Amino acid sequence: MSIEFYTSDELVEELMKRKTFLGIIIRSEQEMTSNSGVPDGFQMGCRNVTPDQAITILKSITESLESDIENGGGPEWHCED
């Protein structure tokens, strides 16, 4: 087995083509080469959800995270530095 490298555009395109993918992709408009902070702009893509549903999902996530942070807890994060 070998490892193949793909650009962010190629990875997003592949996900968006899959009929089994249900979700929202949010990514930086610029390639991030380091953990240098929050990017200036974002791109969003949706698959199998309408833009209104995507907005509802993102609002729900925001409210949940804000509540968790206010209560000193939070979800299990799976983030890589």
Give the residue among 46, 42, 63, 64 at the shortest CA–CA distance from 54.
46
The tens digit of pLDDT for each residue in 49-75 reads 888 888 898 898 888 888 877 777 665
pTM, two decimals, is: 0.54
pLDDT band for position 34 (cuts 50, 70, 90)? low
Q: Are 24 and 57 in contact (CB under 8 A)?
A: yes
| Proportion of the chain above pLDDT 90, given as a percent | 0
Distance, CA of 23 to CA of 73 (rounded, Å) = 25
Query: What is the predicted pLDDT for the residue at 20?
Result: 83
